[in-house]
Structure 1
């Protein structure tokens, strides 16, 4: 026979209303009383009736976490930190735990919208969208409309690693990553070493992360008079001595992108990759062409994923505190942290200089492309 709220109240020696207040966490209860109720819940192995509670509270114990690729360490680090913060466990009260459901969109805009609709039907207590946004007017409008409906029904919304939506409304919090600033500092580092012909293996052209990192890259080049003003450079294609190829955020895209860069301009002395995984692919392609990193070409990544420091050579990259950002997003989506002013906060990035970058040995080097 199922244990009831009344059973817990009898075991703890309190009223059913007091048990409800402790479980919901929506009313002050004396510490000793709260501990008696929690002990009774544990002893009786009481399980809250989630469906009844959802109907009563107009929300469930479900928090949806949307990621582009659950196998990508970038998203894995954010999602795992989120889940630790959201779920019941050490440091979290039994009444505060939520069910974190990771929704893998595969980078599909249609899947993103489908998951948001399903989470709305489930009366999700919270939704966290991670990673760069697809920059398409109709899709952006559709996402904004779904998130506005969710927020109006009491669902907390957090965008983690995304730019703010136009006219960000209360109930939608944004933790945006400083991709522009990080990319600018990375390119400035290469320029300070003496590089003047810097190729870029960028991410998907429709993603906000790609655009923001390219804007930072071009801003640094423009400050040294190597390209037109940063506002004119992005999206204009190749610029003299600064070739760009687009791909994904994976090793194979980095490998193919590096080969394409060498075909476009065999005299590049440095390559900036879309992220660390792509940077490993760039390094592999250069080795297969008989080129040394950084002896012949310097290579830099982005994100500072765990394997970056153990690569050979260790990758110069830009660190995003992904786990810290994920944990903060978890606290925000549960209402444990107050929203930032204006509902938007910027997560700072840090340049990590390692062995994969060095001054150019041969300013006008020609790559061996016949291998």
Structure 2
């Protein structure tokens, strides 16, 4: 049963007129009352009603794109490709893309999904890894379920698929990156070169991307019989250059004989480059460095960065077409996008 304005008023312990004033924004309401009403709206997933034709005309051109960090080229490339696909449809049928920057906050992600539901967005594209935790996963699945039930097309790009009940085709389409496989092939490359003391710099432990790439790295180590000490040679941080710099110094402190550093993304790898140079170490003569994603600067780094290429532009464009219903969804609603190893000058056999 649909939640009514009266339900929100009862939940917030205010009058229906007060709820209307808060939602319209045209009347003065105390900040405490406003916060209470908006909290009730969010908790009940209330969607503002209105004349159907006017509502459709006002919101049918809206597409939401959720990113963790718009300043990160990983997300910028995907979001730009999605926007290009939805903005220039033939016959003037383009859509308005709204990029929602969550900052990696699970709470903000849920808030944006609620706001897009209220605006009756035509489509929503959610990019990048998900926050770990059964509670958040269930909350996101519920939000996306309400969006699809209302007719919004939902595409996950670079994100693991939602749990599927098995009843018919899933309503959400997923383009998942092969993070485990790519990370495993990258570490196998270093092992084949002869490296045995390999440090790993990764992102926050509560992100699916962090876990999947770390699992691939450790699978390669396990196959080579090198699991001992892998925890000691793993440092978590943020997916940024500063974290890569600090984590690499920490790895050198833990293991002065380190011969290789694997970074969970290319931006972290740049920080590793700087840390090694500041310690007077040469790349790759003294320490090899490898990254992940193959961002545009990777081939131009000095030395050029060995990394794992994800086709971010193509994946974003495909997500845009799926969001606009201009491409058939993959079988089962899920497509896994393969990662490609790019061997460049930053890796070499250890001395």
Q: 1:108 to 1:56 in 2, by over 3 A?
A: closer
- Counterpart residue number, 1:332: 322
- Counterpart residue number, 2:14: none
Q: Which has the larger radius of gyration?
A: 1
- Counterpart residue number, 2:245: 255
Candidates 313, 316, 320, aligned match of 1:323: 313
SS class of match (1:313): coil
Q: 1:348 to 1:53 in 2, by over 3 A?
A: farther
Q: Contact between 2:164 and 2:170, CA under 8 Å: does it hold in 1?
A: no
- Counterpart residue number, 2:150: 153
List gaps (5 residues or longer) in structure 2. 1-50
Deviates most, 269-278 or 58-67:
58-67
Structure 1 residue 264: deviation in Å? 1.2
Inter-partner Cα distance in structure 1 for 2:58 and 2:151: 8
Inter-partner Cα distance in structure 1 for 2:215 and 2:54: 45
Q: What value does the CA root-mean-square deviation take over the aligned residues?
A: 1.6
Inter-partner Cα distance in structure 1 for 2:148 and 2:56: 18
Inter-partner Cα distance in structure 2 for 1:345 and 1:304: 20
1:115-126 map, 5 Å: 115-126=112-123
- Counterpart residue number, 2:260: 270
Inter-partner Cα distance in structure 2 for 1:54 and 1:294: 62
- Are 1:138 and 2:129 counterparts? no
Inter-partner Cα distance in structure 1 for 2:264 and 2:320: 27
1:21-60 map, 5 Å: 55-56=55-56, 60=60
Structure 1 residue 341: deviation in Å? 0.5
- Counterpart residue number, 1:357: 347
- Counterpart residue number, 1:70: 70
1:186-335 map, 5 Å: 186-227=186-227, 238-239=229-230, 243-335=233-325
- Residues matched between the structures, number: 298
Structure 1 residue 239: deviation in Å? 2.9
Structure 1 residue 265: deviation in Å? 1.2
Inter-partner Cα distance in structure 2 for 1:269 and 1:360: 6
- 4+ runs deviating over 6 angstroms: none
Q: 1:281 to 1:56 in 2, by over 3 A?
A: closer
Inter-partner Cα distance in structure 2 for 1:104 and 1:285: 30
Q: Contact between 2:218 and 2:230, CA under 8 Å: does it hold in 1?
A: no
TM-score normalised by L of structure 2: 0.82
Inter-partner Cα distance in structure 2 for 1:58 and 1:150: 17
- Counterpart residue number, 2:161: 164
SS class of match (1:185): helix
TM-score normalised by L of structure 1: 0.78
Inter-partner Cα distance in structure 1 for 2:58 and 2:188: 51
Q: Contact between 1:251 and 1:279, CA under 8 Å: does it hold in 2?
A: yes
Inter-partner Cα distance in structure 2 for 1:191 and 1:58: 57
- Are 1:106 and 2:103 counterparts? yes
Q: Encode CA deviations 1:134-191: one digit per residue, 9 max, x unaligned.
A: 0011111111100000001110000000001111662200000000010000000000
- Are 1:82 and 2:82 counterparts? yes
- Are 1:343 and 2:340 counterparts? no
Structure 1 residue 96: deviation in Å? 2.6
